[in-house]
Structure 1
Amino acid sequence: MGKLSTMTPALEPALETHLLRAALHAVFTLGTEKDTTQVQDLHSVLPDVLDAMLGNLLAESPDTNRLHYTLEHINYWILSRVSRERARAIRSSTTLLRSTITLPEFDNSAKFPRMGHQVAQLALFIGYPAKDITWQAREGVYRLYQLLLHQRGQAHSEDSANSAASNGIGRTQALQPEQQMCVCLSFPGLTVHEAKDLWVWDWHQDCRLLGYKNTARVGEVFGKFFSEGQRRFFLRTAVLAIQDPLLCVSQAGLLLTYSLLGEAQQLMGDKQEGVTANVMRQLRVIRHLRRVPEALQGLCL
């Protein structure tokens, strides 16, 4: 499995996809019942081998197309009905995104509309009862936020350079190297410091209330920077999740939808019990009464 990313000559795309799916299936579905010592050893080694392989695949072609291709295959498992498979998929997705941030040659210039889908899929587990899944999901969302800020920074720098060039200023003169390195930190309305506001940090609050608030923050914060395509993919994923049989995922789907539409205040409150009641009331309207709440009427996906 570890050799998949280094085979020469390069694999045909269809064969590479088949082998990637087989590798993910083998690792994510590895059983846990009646484990022998050898199986336990596999549990500790295989996820790291898989993550290294995925990182090498991305490093071969470090751009948003390859990142999307790999994440799509990983995220197929995120909504698995088996909790350990979900946990392993979220872990691998977050690990890949973490390595993406460290690739200096990563090309983030291409449009990435399905980033909205990737954000929403991970954000569905920000309030998950298992803390390890919650932390992995939060880091994955944060890494996507870094990529989004960087992409918006690139777009701004190109606009600035083009404007400068039209006024007789060369590209080098318009954007110095030190400015290129921190472009997403330097212009008004788009600073990486805003990432600190992605999460609500209040350790005195009930953990479920904190989960609700942080889930809602994702839609509120990403909504400021999403392109129209990213916004549409985010909403599609969130709305579909409302019908998920796993209650915490269904609740998160509702919160993400309302927050991106700027309607989260209809659900939020100061007490966990109040937020839960508000969310469950709207879920009942949608799932059982088959009606569309006023906040979602006119929503076009």
Structure 2
Amino acid sequence: MAAFLSRLGHLNSCQDGPNEQAQCMFLTYILTACLTAIVRGEDELHLPQTKAELVAEVVAVLEQVVAEPTPGNILPCALVALHHLSKMKPHTPWELEDRFLSLAIHAVLRLEEPSYDYVGQSLYWSSQQTLEVLLLGLLDEDSSSNHLFAILDHLQTGLHSQEDRERVWASGKIATLLRRAALLQKYNIMGDTLGRYVAELGVLLMDPKRQVGRHAREGIYRLYELALQQRGIDIREMAGLWIREPHLDWEMASYQNTVQMAKKLDAIFTPEQRLAFLKTVLRAVWDPDLQVSQPALFLLYAFLGLGKEVLGMDAQGTEAKIRRQLHRLRECGKQPMELRWLLAGKDDVLIDDLEEEEEMEEEAEEAEE
């Protein structure tokens, strides 16, 4: 098998281009080698190539299929191979893992589900499920907080997509990983990452796609649970994070939930987490997309304890109030007094960060032109 794997690796990297049959065989024999080691109770592969070299070969395969929107055989096979390789020693170097995570998530995110092709639909869902198994497996192999949020950062790009399907997918995967993290109870999230992710998901609570809002609610709930675990508190001992008002429509319930969530999370934030939250929300408030900036402004006001000022009798009235306050803040530069107090001594830091990011974006656009 070792000689055969070596030969297949050569076929995969030959200059004449990829051979799909050779790639499938190469990935299958990697999987077979891993399963054989597991059955023997071993956690190392006795092959001519090192584990890192095999992972690099699989990464090369992913690079060839990453832009393909049509589901095929190669992608799920590559994900299964990476999942089993991750169980072998030594640990995959972070540079390689970072690369294959980026490629795998991008490839699956861009897949289009065929409408009337049953084989294509099977391959589509196989790729989706296999990626989830891979991500959860990586989380189990290395349960450090840095590793958790490094994986989440790869998924985060999908949260800002204009495509509903991609936001649903990314928010769902983040909720799944945070659910597993809360179950493992091994994570220290005392740094500013908690504030940043609460803000990222908080903006999505009012997403027009309801499934995105549901995923965001679970993600924030799990972050809250992780933060309480750090303090030795069982979340079941705390009052509910979300309201239960069946008479409210979806939009108004989302606004009310945002107000309640902001109040409860602010009570446990450290100064570092509060600053990270504010930086993330203020960045979203200045986003040109109103689908981002309007919920971000409401989240900001809810965090400041001013939710009632932008909460109308119904969703339409609330949206009108949000637009007025957004105009006052962005166009007229009129900050609420509560925001000025909270940012006392930090205004320059936040404003400098925002201006620096805007300048970098403008320079990037000019370079592209």
TM-score bin (small chain)? 0.7 to 0.9
Kindly tell me: are residues 202 and 193 of structure 1, through their superposed partners in 2, closer, same or farther at Cα, counting changes over 3 Å? same
- For 1:264 and 1:38, how far apart are their aligned partners in 2? 50
Q: 1:42 aligns with which of 123, 126, 129?
A: 123
| 3-state SS in 2 of match to 1:19 | helix
Deviations 1:141-172 (A, max 9, x none): 1111110111122xxxxxxxxxxxxxxxxxxx
The question of 1:194 aligning with 2:266 is answered no
- For 1:98 and 1:126, how far apart are their aligned partners in 2? 17
* Offset at residue 290 of structure 1 (A): 4.7
Match runs of 1:178-193 below 5 Å: 184-185=233-234, 192-193=236-237
Cross-structure match for 2:43: none
Aligned identity (percent) is 33
Amino acid at match of 2:180: S
- For 2:286 and 2:113, how far apart are their aligned partners in 1? 29
- The structure with more helix, counted as a fraction of residues: 2
Amino acid at match of 1:258: Y
- For 1:220 and 1:130, how far apart are their aligned partners in 2? 24
Amino acid at match of 1:242: V
1:126–1:135 CA contact under 8 A, matched in 2: yes
- For 1:195 and 1:147, how far apart are their aligned partners in 2? 16
Q: 1:208 aligns with which of 224, 243, 251?
A: 251
Cross-structure match for 1:219: 262
Amino acid at match of 1:63: S
Match runs of 1:11-90 below 5 Å: 11-32=92-113, 36-90=117-171
| 3-state SS in 2 of match to 1:208 | helix
Match runs of 1:1-301 below 5 Å: 1-4=79-82, 5-32=86-113, 36-103=117-184, 106-109=185-188, 111-153=190-232, 184-185=233-234, 192-196=236-240, 198-297=241-340, 299=343, 300=346, 301=350
| 3-state SS in 2 of match to 1:203 | coil
| 3-state SS in 1 of match to 2:160 | coil
Q: Where does structure 2 lack aligned partners over 5 or more consecutive residues?
A: 1-78, 351-369
Higher relative contact order (CA 8 A, sep 6+): 1
- For 1:195 and 1:134, how far apart are their aligned partners in 2? 21
Amino acid at match of 1:112: G
1:215–1:252 CA contact under 8 A, matched in 2: no
Report the TM-score, using the length of structure 1 for normalisation: 0.80
* Offset at residue 293 of structure 1 (A): 4.2
1:63–1:108 CA contact under 8 A, matched in 2: yes
2:114–2:120 CA contact under 8 A, matched in 1: no
- For 2:288 and 2:172, how far apart are their aligned partners in 1? 22
Cross-structure match for 1:171: none
* Offset at residue 140 of structure 1 (A): 1.0
* Offset at residue 112 of structure 1 (A): 2.9
Cross-structure match for 1:164: none
Amino acid at match of 2:212: I
Kindly tell me: are residues 42 and 245 of structure 1, through their superposed partners in 2, closer, same or farther at Cα, counting changes over 3 Å? farther
Deviations 1:47-105 (A, max 9, x none): 221111111111112132221111111112211222211111101100111111222xx
- For 2:165 and 2:174, how far apart are their aligned partners in 1? 14
* Offset at residue 34 of structure 1 (A): 6.1
| 3-state SS in 2 of match to 1:223 | helix
* Offset at residue 127 of structure 1 (A): 1.7
* Offset at residue 195 of structure 1 (A): 4.7
2:206–2:255 CA contact under 8 A, matched in 1: yes
Compare CA radii of gyration and give the structure with the larger one.
2
2:189–2:226 CA contact under 8 A, matched in 1: no
- For 1:88 and 1:43, how far apart are their aligned partners in 2? 13
Cross-structure match for 2:52: none
Number of paired residues? 263
- For 2:287 and 2:88, how far apart are their aligned partners in 1? 39
**What's the C-alpha RMSD, in Å, of the aligned pairs?**
2.2
Worse overlay, 21-30 or 272-281: 272-281
Kindly tell me: are residues 261 and 283 of structure 1, through their superposed partners in 2, closer, same or farther at Cα, counting changes over 3 Å? same
Q: Where does structure 1 lack aligned partners over 5 or more consecutive residues?
A: 154-183, 186-190
Kindly tell me: are residues 272 and 22 of structure 1, through their superposed partners in 2, closer, same or farther at Cα, counting changes over 3 Å? same
- For 2:312 and 2:219, how far apart are their aligned partners in 1? 26
Q: Which runs of 4+ in 1 moved over 6 A?
A: none
